[in-house]
Structure 1
């Protein structure tokens, strides 16, 4: 029986523990901002992602407001739209750098790998004993969404009374190149 490679196993364990940490960090306070569901009254903000910039550097929001972000990546690189306080953004940057370094993420998307699945074969069965399955890396951060080149994604967020929130692309070098903006509570 073929099993997961050590790299895939480590990546799966990392994602499982990292997403639990993000969920705890993002949602422990009752007034913490959070990902939400859109409603008919949800305001929509369109943001173009380019290499290497956001079309907006500042977005006005009201406490308690739910905003649907429509994110269109017109660049050649993958980007992330991550909402959080600066300290959490820095922590997430280190985690994203590790994912790039180990090959889980690439400059243009999530890595894909082939896993061999065992087939249940009976006596005298002439079918091959296993078959390949393509597995795409996952990114389950409740504060963020990855946007591959040429794609458009939506991300809905409810803003509480919290201040000092930023949005950033935390892929290596992107924040440092200027892919960061502020939310201004009005």
Structure 2
């Protein structure tokens, strides 16, 4: 019976799995994003600019609002300037809320993929993402409690 509950959780998450597929055993990295309403993994050779993003223990991203053009490919250089683990996950509001719910049941799971990165204190990494059509895309920290504490940002595509 103990294995049925996680199975039902995963089956209920099939739409999200199309966005963030990968290992979900709670110990390995998960999430290899493919094209979504938030855009798609970018090609490093097509990067038009680099944006530095800091993640802090005040549960904030700096900057927390970014404007890009439709079709633009951006390299995010993400730094964890805090003393606890943080992550940056790019997606639509609905994708991220659904993923946050899933993370509550797998708090030790780590993110690694084209739209997501988990960083230990003092570490940095990069994400390359192409933003498609006009609209708003979110980025959040899905470490349990961080999203709920307001660790969110917006990318306005216009």
Using the size of structure 2 for normalisation, the TM-score is: 0.74
Whether the 8 Å CA contact 2:115–2:128 is kept in 1: the answer is no
Alpha-carbon offset, residue 143 of structure 1: 2.7
Alpha-carbon offset, residue 164 of structure 1: 2.6
Give the aligned partner of residue 35 of structure 2.
Answer: 27
SS at 1:176 equivalent: coil
Give the aligned partner of residue 69 of structure 2.
Answer: 62
Alpha-carbon offset, residue 37 of structure 1: 2.1
Q: Structure 1 residues 41 and 176, CA, compared in 2 at 3 Å: closer, same or farther?
A: closer
* 1:1-186 correspondence runs (5 A): 20-23=17-20, 26-27=34-35, 33-39=39-45, 41-51=47-57, 52-100=59-107, 104-105=108-109, 139-186=111-158
Q: Which has the larger radius of gyration?
A: 1
Q: Structure 1 residues 86 and 150, CA, compared in 2 at 3 Å: closer, same or farther?
A: same
Whether the 8 Å CA contact 2:115–2:127 is kept in 1: the answer is no
Higher strand share: 2
For these two proteins, the number of residue pairs brought into alignment is 138
Give the Cα separation in 1 of the matches to 2:15 and 2:36.
15
Give the Cα separation in 2 of the matches to 1:159 and 1:146.
21
Give the Cα separation in 2 of the matches to 1:71 and 1:179.
14
Give the Cα separation in 2 of the matches to 1:40 and 1:90.
30
Q: Structure 1: which 5+ residue stretches go unaligned? A: 1-5, 111-138
Q: Structure 2: which 5+ residue stretches go unaligned? A: 22-32
Whether the 8 Å CA contact 2:137–2:157 is kept in 1: the answer is no
Give the Cα separation in 2 of the matches to 1:28 and 1:87.
11
Alpha-carbon offset, residue 27 of structure 1: 2.2
Whether the 8 Å CA contact 1:69–1:154 is kept in 2: the answer is yes
SS at 2:135 equivalent: coil
SS at 2:105 equivalent: helix
Q: Which has the higher contact order (CA 8 A, sep 6+)?
A: 1
Using the size of structure 1 for normalisation, the TM-score is: 0.63
Give the Cα separation in 1 of the matches to 2:144 and 2:92.
18
